[in-house]
Amino acid sequence: MAHNVVSIENLVKRYGDKVAVDHFSLNVEEGEILGLLGPNGSGKTTTINCLLSLLKYDKGVIKIFDKEMRPEAYDIKAEIGVVMQNVAVIETLNVYENVDFFCGLYIKDRAVRRQYVEEALEFTGLAEYKKYKPKKLSGGLLRRLNIACGIAHKPKLIIFDEPTVAVDPQSRNAILEGIRQMNRNGATIIYTSHYMEEVEELCTRIVIMDRGKNVASGTSQELKASLINRETIRVAIPDRSEKLIADIKEINHVYKVKEDGEELIIKCDGGDHNLVHILSYLSDNNIPFGRVSTELPTLNDVFLEITGKELRD
Ligand SMILES: Nc1ncnc2c1ncn2[C@@H]1O[C@H](COP(=O)(O)OP(=O)(O)OP(=O)(O)O)[C@@H](O)[C@H]1O
Ligand SMILES: [Mg+2]
């Protein structure tokens, strides 16, 4: 049985009157890539900072590797890698020296450390930039340096707080692939983001956060399976009658039909061949139609159904 790497129970964190984290609970098992998905201001970073004992909290119990996490728990901290949302590197040190500095907080043996630093630079594709000062790096390379500093000491638990914000697609893909590789090498990952596509692509399990609360969790398939809507079909039918709409509503799995300009928006609650059934009906009845499209539900739909608002800004 996999055991818990992280356990957060009933965490509450207030900033003055503002409740940033509201009775939030989360378990992360060994080997998972757990995605913490939530809109801006939902409490992701605050949760991470409480988890790491960087912030005092009002209520809750936090355990890492089955031990209570405390500000002075250096033995636990040595096994954690953190890649912060805001890039935190030292401007006066070059790339190599930065990684060496952060790795040196945990790895005292110089020979081992040299090897670890070289591996981290290789891994993040920074080997050829060793001598560069952070100011000389592009946004994407700076993010990668931030990652190299966080992971060089080979931690068992790695926390990424929105590592791909303002990163070009190429660096972004390199970062995501790097995270998968670290996971294959045995690290448990917590990944926060407000990009649902990214979380969906990378994470083995997703927790959706809103206003400091854990509002849903599961694999992306499980989350979508909880929706009534399974497919949305749009068909342009400029010339349509009341009877047509009533007939389409009678088709198996259709639960809602809306009119949107020239288009009919048809919502289905399951079924594998909804489009075929609808198009057969139209051609059997000689009803002319134009552009057709079909959409499967997204995590945004899950979020929308739970909270009544969009995940995107
Ligand atoms: N130091 C602080 N003092 C007061 N309020 C804060 C502080 N830090 C965060 N907050 C508030 O707490 C809430 C949660 O913020 P937090 O940064 O944890 O969200 P987030 O999910 O990480 O957002 P983002 O996606 O923008 O990074 C927000 O309403 C934010 O304005
Ligand atoms: Mg944040």
Atom 25 of ligand 1, residue of closest alpha carbon: 40
Q: How close is the Cα of 20 to the center of ligand 1, in Å?
A: 7
CA 290 – CA 2 distance, rounded (Å): 52
56-69 pLDDT, tens digit each? 999 999 999 999 99
User: For a substitution probing ligand 1, which of 11, 14, 18, 58 has the most ligand atoms within 8 Å of its CB?
Assistant: 18
Q: How close is the Cα of 192 to the center of ligand 1, in Å?
A: 13
111-152 pLDDT, tens digit each? 999 999 999 999 889 999 999 999 999 988 999 999 999 999
Which CATH number belongs to the domain containing residue 269 in this structure? 3.30.70.100
Is residue 46 within 6 Å of ligand 1 at its C-beta? yes
Question: Are residue 189 and residue 273 in the same domain, yes or no?
Answer: no
Number of domains in the chain: 2
Between helices 110-123 and 139-151, what is the axis angle to 10°?
140
Is residue 56 within 6 Å of ligand 1 at its C-beta? no
- Specify which residues 264 forms β-bridges with: 235, 259
- Token pair 């901290």 is at which residue? 77
Q: How close is the Cα of 193 to the center of ligand 2, in Å?
A: 8
73-89 pLDDT, tens digit each? 999 999 999 999 889 99
Closest-CA residue to 142 (of 88, 78, 72, 63): 88
CA-CA-CA-CA torsion sign (265, 271, 272, 274): negative
User: Which domain range does residue 161 map to?
Assistant: 4-225
Question: Are residue 17 and residue 146 in the same domain, yes or no?
Answer: yes
Question: Are residue 100 and residue 49 in the same domain, yes or no?
Answer: yes
Residue 142 covered by a domain: yes
Ligand 1, atom nearest to 43 Cα: 18
Coarse DSSP helix, strand, coil percentages of the chain, rounded to the nearest 5 percent = 35, 30, 35
CA 114 – CA 193 distance, rounded (Å): 32
Instruction: Answer with the one of 204, 225, 246 that is the final residue of a domain.
Output: 225
Residue 308 covered by a domain: no
Q: Is the pLDDT of residue 242 over 80?
A: yes
Question: Are residue 114 and residue 261 in the same domain, yes or no?
Answer: no
pTM for the structure as a whole:
0.87
Residue 135 covered by a domain: yes
- Cα 14 to Cα 8, 17, 45, 52: the distances in Å are 16, 6, 13, 17
Question: Are residue 197 and residue 244 in the same domain, yes or no?
Answer: no
Residue 305 covered by a domain: no
Q: Is the pLDDT of residue 11 over 80?
A: yes
Ligand 1, atom nearest to 16 Cα: 4
Atom 2 of ligand 1, residue of closest alpha carbon: 15
Could you tell me where the beta strands, DSSP code E, fall in 58-144?
59-64, 67-68, 80-83
Atom 27 of ligand 1, residue of closest alpha carbon: 40
Q: How many CB atoms lie within 10 A of CB 56?
A: 9
Question: Are residue 102 and residue 187 in the same domain, yes or no?
Answer: yes
Ligand 1, atom nearest to 49 Cα: 18
Question: Are residue 161 and residue 238 in the same domain, yes or no?
Answer: no
Question: Are residue 8 and residue 109 in the same domain, yes or no?
Answer: yes
* Integer Rg of the chain from CA: 24
Q: What pLDDT, on a 0 to 100 scale, did the predictor assign at position 80?
A: 97
Which CATH number belongs to the domain containing residue 120 in this structure? 3.40.50.300
